[in-house]
Amino acid sequence: MRSSQFFLPTLRENPAEAEIVSHRLMLRAGMVRQASAGIYSWLPLGFKVLKNVERIVREEQDRAGCQEVLMPTIQSADLWRESGRYDAYGKEMLRIKDRREREMLYGPTNEEQITQIFRDSIRSYREVPKMLYHIQWKFRDEVRPRFGVMRGREFLMKDAYSFDMDYEGARRAYNKFFVAYLRTFARMGMRAIPMEADTGPIGGNLSHEFIVLADTGESQVYCDREFLDFDVLGKDINYADPAAVEKVVNHFTSLYARTDEKNDQAAFEQQVPEARRYVGRGIEVGHIFYFGTKYSEPLKAQVQDKDGNPVTIHMGSYGIGVSRMPAAIIEASHDDNGIIWPETVAPFRVGLINIKVDDKAGTAMAEDIYAKLNNAGVEVLYDDRDERAGAKFAEMDLIGLPWQLVVGPRGAAKGQVEMKNRKTGEKVELSVDAVLQRLGA
């Protein structure tokens, strides 16, 4: 993509309404724009990141054996009356009437909807267990939408649901999601720590929040630093082996990690040696629940067991804040100059800057590199505009692409390009061939 053609409305000044760094940087880098309170449009740069987050979430759900579906955003009030949540949900639910005066709602979550689908389609224990997910927009009329897409009213969630014959089965499903979540966040360059949590309006008695440590997070957390050393990606997890999955889960659940609401200071101090205690802030990026028969009971989601007896299905639900993710990543990865994208979610892998567009040799070199990277399938944003070099550098740092290539008249004369690592700031002078080789092109 050429910067001269790309829709990238960056801002020089800090927007006054942005209180935290990710909101500021997402507006400044032209990633999102507010439509109304807590409701955002995603512009090309932001949308690319959102799609990358979605892709990683999807790959890890699929790997764990979860199947993708797509349920609607609009649901019927009657379905929610069956579970008793239509009244219980209160003002956070956006309620709508259609032209026939039928009561509808914009879904804040999909437990009822998926339970209805299951109930109407599955009859026998032979078809269980099942795990289903979708990635769909939600609406929650939050009292205080704030921090941009971090706490929106309309937001994109990955929500998954598991169906099992009994508690043991449901626990195996819970463990799979637990591990899939560790992997998902690690692939985005983040360490999310599972913490025992309250279940709120979703219900049930077993629940973990996945929290990314960041100073600006909304949650206060107390945990064991040991978490930070565990490598979840280094080990290939075999989801078909429940014992192997359970082992990973047990490692984490044996370590102390609680948010404010659940913290027991005496237990924290007793269980965690002083040198290993971490007290700080965090961002909730995921939340998993086991709630047994809370929805299957009132919605009568039953299957026949081996002996033909009806069994009420045991369920869990598992959420990731997909549209919160880009903001959470920025909170965890930025510097004074802007965003620092991990390679896996970066909107482009490479930013190519041509310092002086009226220099023949430099421009020929930049065009050559651009063509070769494109041919090799390396995503590159090529700043080919007639702008001041300083402004180009500042914008590249702001939008945070992992690698910057700088071509100028002096280097071009020697056949050299400067390659900068956005994260470390390290710069090296290389030939075009060497640059392409380093980028795998």
Total residue length of the chain: 441
Binding flag, residue 202, ligand P5A (CB under 6 A): yes
Tokens 């001269």 belong to which residue? 4
Binding to ligand P5A, residues 224-253 (CB under 6 A) = none
Q: Which of 61, 76, 109, 354 binds ligand P5A (CB under 6 A)?
A: 109
Q: How far is the CB of 313 from ligand P5A (least distance, A)?
A: 16
Tell me how far apart the alpha carbons of residues 93 and 88 are, in angstroms, rounded to a whole number: 10
Binding flag, residue 173, ligand P5A (CB under 6 A): no
Indicate the residue among 151 and 356 with the shorter CB distance to ligand P5A: 151
Binding to ligand P5A, residues 296-325 (CB under 6 A) = 317-319, 321, 324
**How far lies 93's CA from each of 124, 150, 260, 264, in Å?**
34, 19, 26, 33
**How far lies 265's CA from each of 105, 260, 262, in Å?**
41, 10, 10
Binding flag, residue 157, ligand P5A (CB under 6 A): yes
* Closest residue to bound ligand P5A by CB: 321
Residues in contact with ligand P5A, counted by CB under 6 A, come to a total of 19
Q: How far is the CB of 115 from ligand P5A (least distance, A)?
A: 12
Closest to 222 in 3D by CA, of 198, 195, 204, 245: 195
Q: Which of 60, 112, 159, 224 binds ligand P5A (CB under 6 A)?
A: 159
Q: Which of 112, 141, 164, 284 binds ligand P5A (CB under 6 A)?
A: 284
Q: How far is the CB of 438 from ligand P5A (least distance, A)?
A: 36
Q: Which of 152, 194, 203, 204 binds ligand P5A (CB under 6 A)?
A: 152
Q: How far is the CB of 321 from ligand P5A (least distance, A)?
A: 2
Tell me how far apart the alpha carbons of residues 160 and 110 are, in angstroms, rounded to a whole number: 9
Binding flag, residue 155, ligand P5A (CB under 6 A): yes
Q: How far is the CB of 147 from ligand P5A (least distance, A)?
A: 9
Q: How far is the CB of 140 from ligand P5A (least distance, A)?
A: 5
Instruction: Strands of 165-313 (E only): list them.
Output: 192-196, 206-213, 219-224, 257-259, 277-292, 302-304, 310-312
Binding flag, residue 197, ligand P5A (CB under 6 A): no
Q: How far is the CB of 170 from ligand P5A (least distance, A)?
A: 14
Indicate the residue among 286 and 408 with the shorter CB distance to ligand P5A: 286
Binding flag, residue 294, ligand P5A (CB under 6 A): no
Binding flag, residue 112, ligand P5A (CB under 6 A): no
Q: How far is the CB of 381 from ligand P5A (least distance, A)?
A: 27
Other beta carbons less than 10 A from residue 240's beta carbon:
8
Binding flag, residue 211, ligand P5A (CB under 6 A): no
Q: How far is the CB of 108 from ligand P5A (least distance, A)?
A: 7
Q: Which of 30, 148, 203, 286 binds ligand P5A (CB under 6 A)?
A: 286
CB of 224 closer than 8 Å to CB of 257: yes
Binding to ligand P5A, residues 51-90 (CB under 6 A) = none
Indicate the residue among 53 and 232 with the shorter CB distance to ligand P5A: 53
CB of 223 closer than 8 Å to CB of 268: no
Indicate the residue among 259 and 404 with the shorter CB distance to ligand P5A: 259
**How far lies 416's CA from each of 290, 363, 397, in Å?**
58, 13, 21
Binding flag, residue 140, ligand P5A (CB under 6 A): yes
Binding flag, residue 142, ligand P5A (CB under 6 A): yes
Q: How far is the CB of 348 from ligand P5A (least distance, A)?
A: 25
Helices (H) and strands (E) in the chain, counts: 13, 23
Binding flag, residue 185, ligand P5A (CB under 6 A): no
Binding flag, residue 134, ligand P5A (CB under 6 A): no
Q: How far is the CB of 285 from ligand P5A (least distance, A)?
A: 5
Closest to 159 in 3D by CA, of 376, 321, 384: 321
Q: How far is the CB of 201 from ligand P5A (least distance, A)?
A: 8
**Contacting positions for ligand P5A (CB under 6 A):** 109, 140, 142, 151-152, 155, 157, 159, 202, 284-287, 289, 317-319, 321, 324
